Amino acid sequence: MKKNQFIWKHKHLIGLRDLSSQEIEHILDTAEGFEEISTRSVKKAPTLRGKVVVNLFFEDSTRTRNSFSLAANRLSADVIEFTQKSSSVSKGETLLDTARNLEAMGIDIVVIRHSAGGAPKFLSRNINACVINAGDGYCEHPTQGLLDAYTIRKIKGSLEGLKVGIVGDIAHSRVARSNIYALTKLGAEVILVGPPTLMPAKVEKLPVKVSYSLDDCLGELDVINMLRIQFERMGSNPFPSIKEYSHYFGLTVERMKKAKPDILVMHPGPINRGLEIESEVADGPNSVILQQVANGLAVRMAVMFLVNQGAAIKK
Ligand code: CP
């Protein structure tokens, strides 16, 4: 089917696992069209004029939250910023009551981040507004997976046949899951790299290869995506010391000598400089970390535009 014949029909974006490669390509193609808005002197389009977007964040965020806010503003939507810390959740109000009360004000799109896996799906079944997952527990972070795929496609032309290493704390990473689904559906080979204690349960069921040695596989990678160790999600230490982890899995200037000269170095942020990646590498010539952030804006504009379109079709 030609690109322009495709009609997006989903009212929600909960994850990438259940999307087809064609649907993922369609989001990326749509994002390409939205990039131009950010180059205008007046960075606005009327696409979501009259619509209300709620940023419903129950976990901290710098990139995702501000990117969704700016994306919604650029599309002329009104934006409500909800944070758990300053809300009536502290008085015992439930997620559903919170969402329903906001919905009573007339909202169209809920962007939710929550520590509980499944919270976005739950909301999508219980409210009328469109729901976009901005990260749920260890499950998915679909717009991160999309912006990572978008960044690779933009620089390399295609993901077909590329080898992408995802390194570090895979077990606790929703970014890793959404990346795995997006990248493999678009034709890349994904290699998960890290100590056995940071591999997810049932890793053999994922469409990936696994390596316990970064030095063994670094030379064959076209893209390397370094993950933060999510100490806040761990009950006990998964490795003897941070120094030892950095020694075996940190991306250092010295280790980069083994990489292809045109390898793309990615990181979803926030970075723990000196732990999973050295500053000289994070800020070096192969790094596309800030391009990922920039591309997130167009991707989130595209996602909000598409779910709004999906809602109109479902009416
Ligand atoms: N990548 C990402 O989700 O960053 P934030 O936690 O700052 O949103």
Q: Are residues 95 and 126 in the same domain?
A: yes
Q: How far is the CA of 126 from the centre of ligand 1 (A)?
A: 26
Q: Are residues 150 and 121 in the same domain?
A: no
Mutate to test the pocket of ligand 1, among 60, 64, 232 (most ligand atoms within 8 A of CB): 64
- CATH number of the domain that 88 lies in? 3.40.50.1370
Q: Are residues 75 and 171 in the same domain?
A: no
Domain count, the chain: 2
Q: Are residues 31 and 61 in the same domain?
A: yes
Q: How far is the CA of 142 from the centre of ligand 1 (A)?
A: 12
Range of the domain at 222: 142-293
Q: Are residues 128 and 22 in the same domain?
A: yes
User: DSSP 3-state assignment of 114?
Assistant: strand
Contact 282, 273 (CB under 8 A): yes
Q: Are residues 82 and 177 in the same domain?
A: no
Give the mean pLDDT per block of 10 residues along the chain (315 residues).
Answer: 75 98 97 95 96 97 98 98 91 96 97 98 98 97 98 98 97 97 98 95 96 98 95 75 93 98 98 96 98 98 98 84
Q: How far is the CA of 120 from the centre of ligand 1 (A)?
A: 17
Biggest alpha carbon–alpha carbon distance for the chain: 57
Question: In the prediction, which pLDDT does 4 show?
Answer: 56
Contact 127, 147 (CB under 8 A): no
Report which ligand 1 atom has the smallest distance to the Cα of 141. 3
Rg value, the chain, Cα? 19
Q: Are residues 226 and 270 in the same domain?
A: yes
- Rounded CA separation 54/52 (Å): 7
Closest protein CA for atom 4 of ligand 1: 63
Question: In the prediction, which pLDDT does 88 show?
Answer: 94
Q: Are residues 285 and 148 in the same domain?
A: yes
Question: Is the CB–ligand 1 distance for residue 296 below 6 Å?
Answer: no
Nearest Cα to Cα of residue 29 among 4, 66, 65: 4
Question: In the prediction, which pLDDT does 236 show?
Answer: 73
Question: In the prediction, which pLDDT does 40 show?
Answer: 93
Question: In the prediction, which pLDDT does 234 show?
Answer: 77
- Rounded CA separation 241/228 (Å): 15
Report which ligand 1 atom has the smallest distance to the Cα of 59. 6
Contact 292, 148 (CB under 8 A): yes
Question: In the prediction, which pLDDT does 233 show?
Answer: 75
Q: Are residues 95 and 186 in the same domain?
A: no
**Cα dist. 289→4, 55, 93, 163, 225 in Å?**
31, 24, 37, 18, 9
With left for phi above 0 and alpha for psi between -120 and 50, is residue 179 left, alpha or beta? alpha
Q: Are residues 204 and 279 in the same domain?
A: yes
- pTM over 0.75? The answer is yes
Report which ligand 1 atom has the smallest distance to the Cα of 62. 7
Q: Are residues 159 and 268 in the same domain?
A: yes
Q: Are residues 215 and 229 in the same domain?
A: yes
- Rounded CA separation 14/41 (Å): 33
CA torsion angle 260 261 266 271 (round to 10):
110
Contact 179, 190 (CB under 8 A): yes
Report which ligand 1 atom has the smallest distance to the Cα of 269. 1
Cβ contacts of residue 269 below 8 Å, gap of 6+?
A: 62, 63, 228, 289, 292, 293
Quick: pLDDT tens for 202-247: 999 999 999 999 999 999 999 999 999 887 777 777 777 889 999 9
